[in-house]
Structure formats: C-alpha cells, structure tokens
C-alpha cells in the first residue's frame, strides 16, 4: 500500500503546533494573575477549511467577548493534535475537540476535562454518527464490495485523531475483515469536507466522514446523495466536547461554563451556536460520557 501522507506518530505534532506556538507569545492565560486586557484563547480542530471556520466562529467569538468582558482569539490548528498539544502547554484556555481527540488529550494530560457538549438541532441529541461513503462511479455499493475490491481502492480518512473520520470506521472495517493498510492507497484528507470532495472528484473511491458534515454539504448542494453514497452508518457517538484544564481557577471555570450553558439565550443564538453545525444549546458533559470512545481507542491499541 502506498500512503499519500506521512505515517502519523501520535506523539508527533510538529506542523499542527507551529501556528499556535507562534501565537503563544500573545497568550495571557486565565490562570495567571493578570489585571489588564485578559485574553481568552479558543482552539478549534480543523473540521473544514481554516478560513471558513474562523468566519463561521466570529459570532461565537463576539458573544464570548461581550459575555466575559475579555478579548477572545480563536485559532484553527492545522491538525487535531495541534490543539491537544496547545492545551497541554497552556497556550489555549478552551477548545472544541472531537471525542477521540479529547481521549488522546486526556491520556496524555489528565487535567484536560470536558465541560459542555452541543445538542444537535436536527435530532435533539448530543450524539452523532460516523459514515462510510462511496463515489457514484466507484462501483462500490456496500461494505462487501469494499472488502472484495480493497486492493484496488483509494480510501480517505479525515485525521488520525478524528473519531468519526478514523477511529470508529477503522474499528468497524477491521471487524469486517478489512484492514485499511491493504487499500491500494490510503490518505488523511485533513478535514471532513475534504473527504467528501475527494470522493466527489474521484480522487478516492470511498472514505469516512460524519453525518454532521455530510448533511449540510448535501443541503448546500456541494455534494449529492447520488454522487456520494452512504454505505455504512455507525451507532451513536458521544458528541464533540468543549474542554478546559481542571487546573484553572474554579471561578474562571464557572464563568466559562455559564457563558456556554446560556449561549442559546442570545438574540442571535443560531449564529452564535452554529460554528460546528446546527446546535440548539450546550449542556454539561463529563469524562464518563466518553467511555465508549475511550474503550474503542484501547481496543485498537491507540491508547493504553
């Protein structure tokens, strides 16, 4: 198998951290004794194009500034582990993480903990699903087809630390006797939307994504159900958590929690909540909520 990207080392975060480290000189940190111009650093995993994401999160940033009286700076890392490492190093205060990215972070730094998760407008649930999608002209109509033609398949995952775009679909494929290492070519596209576009454009025959990304892309006409065909859907996965470090002052953590828990009361709530898809509100989250993801990572030998 020829890999289209360098092999991923879970302890290697060089590229992903560069942007955040450079920006780290601007960081003041909520846990420090500061009296002037405190800055809240918000880290974002790269679910979509970075410029697009920063634009989508501007209403959220503005709301946080108005609610906390602090300057808020949002940054999109070049990969998931860039955000994890920035959290560990204290370069950011709050982060949106995927479930698996959170589990990886927790395994390296137990002080990183979830405090909120979004309720999806479409379902009223805090869960979402992983999907495997095949291209219209790929000849793949089922997982059985994927297995039978594995040696001729170009396949795309999202990111090594993605839950719906790597961990869960990889576990499922292995359970069906399909080792992703046996695909003709395997790539990490870097974003959920990038996987769908790679399928649509014929760069790969199939790939893994989440229903959170797939649905809106269909609604906007970027892809169609006829072009990008879902051939597998996972069981519900705990939603992407908002996290901070437990070592922050209790008063600071309480302020952060309250701001997010009341975000749905904002006049422009749809815009404020809409950074990572259609969210109706944020509710409390705990470490225990992510045990299924934790166990899946253990089963695949990705954490101890």
**Tokens read off for 222:** 């970027």
User: Which residue in 108, 118, 127, 115 sits closest to 243, CA to CA?
Assistant: 115
pLDDT of amino acid 166 = 97
- What is the spatial distance between Cα 233 and Cα 132, in angstroms, rounded to a whole number? 7
- Whether domain 130-234 has CATH 3.60.15.10: no
User: Which residue in 111, 98, 69, 53 sits closest to 239, CA to CA?
Assistant: 98
Which part of the chain is CATH 3.40.190.10?
9-122+240-299, 130-234
The model carries a pTM of 0.79
CA distances from 68 to 90, 249, 252, 275 (A): 20, 15, 10, 19
Secondary structure of the chain in HEC code, one letter for each residue: CEECCCCCCCCCCHHHHHHHHHHHHHCCCCCCCCCCCCEEEEEECCCCCHHHHHHHCHHHHHHHHHHHCCEEEEEECCCHHHHHHHHHHCCCCEEECCHHHHHHHHHHCCCEEEEEEEEECCCCCCEECEEEEEECCCCCCCHHHHHHCHHHCEEEECCCCCHHHHHHHHHHHHHCCCCHHHCCEEEECCCHHHHHHHHHCCCCCEEEEEHHHHHHHHHCCCCCCCCEEEEEECCCEECCEEEEECCCCHHHHHHHHHHHHCHHHCCCHHHHHHHHCCEEEEEECCHHHHHHHHHHHHHCCCCC
9-122+240-299 belongs to which homologous superfamily?
Answer: Periplasmic binding protein-like II (3.40.190.10)
pLDDT tens across the length of the chain (304 residues): 544 444 344 444 333 433 333 334 333 344 443 334 488 899 998 767 778 888 888 999 999 999 988 899 998 888 888 888 999 888 999 999 989 999 999 999 999 999 999 999 888 999 999 999 999 999 999 999 999 999 999 999 999 989 999 999 999 999 999 999 999 999 999 999 999 999 999 999 999 999 999 999 999 999 999 999 999 999 999 999 999 999 888 988 998 999 999 999 998 888 888 766 688 999 999 999 999 999 999 999 999 8
pLDDT of amino acid 20 = 38
- What is the spatial distance between Cα 293 and Cα 284, in angstroms, rounded to a whole number? 18
The answer to whether residues 232 and 172 touch, using CB atoms and an 8 Å cutoff, is yes
pLDDT of amino acid 275 = 64
């Amino acid at each position: 198998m020829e890999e289209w990207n360098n092999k991923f080392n879970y302890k290697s975060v060089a590229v992903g951290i560069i942007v955040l480290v450079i920006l780290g000189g601007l960081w003041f940190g909520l846990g420090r004794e500061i009296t002037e111009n405190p800055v809240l650093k918000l880290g974002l995993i790269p679910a979509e194009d970075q410029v697009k994401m920063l634009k989508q999160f501007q209403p959220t940033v503005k709301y946080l500034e108005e609610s906390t009286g602090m300057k808020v700076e949002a940054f999109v890392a070049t990969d998931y582990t860039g955000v994890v490492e920035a959290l560990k190093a204290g370069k950011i205060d709050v982060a949106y993480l995927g479930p698996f990215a959170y589990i990886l972070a927790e395994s390296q730094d137990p002080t990183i903990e979830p405090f909120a998760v979004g309720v999806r407008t479409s379902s009223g649930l805090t869960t979402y699903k992983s999907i495997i999608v095949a291209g219209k002209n790929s000849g793949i109509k089922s997982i059985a087809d994927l297995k039978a033609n594995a040696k001729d398949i170009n396949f795309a995952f999202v990111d090594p630390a993605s839950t719906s775009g790597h961990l869960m679909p990889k576990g499922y494929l292995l359970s069906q006797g399909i080792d992703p290492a046996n695909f003709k070519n395997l790539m990490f596209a870097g974003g959920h939307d990038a996987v769908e576009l790679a399928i649509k454009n014929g760069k790969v025959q199939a790939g893994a994504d989440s229903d959170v990304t797939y649905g809106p892309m269909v609604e906007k006409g970027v892809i169609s159900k006829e072009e990008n065909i879902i051939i597998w859907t996972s069981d519900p996965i705990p939603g992407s958590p908002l996290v901070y470090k437990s070592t922050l002052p209790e008063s600071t953590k309480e302020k952060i929690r309250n701001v997010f828990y009341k975000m749905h009361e904002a006049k422009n709530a749809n815009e404020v909540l809409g950074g990572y898809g259609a969210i109706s509100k944020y509710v409390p989250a705990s470490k225990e909520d992510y045990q299924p993801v934790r166990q899946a990572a253990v089963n695949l030998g990705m954490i101890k």
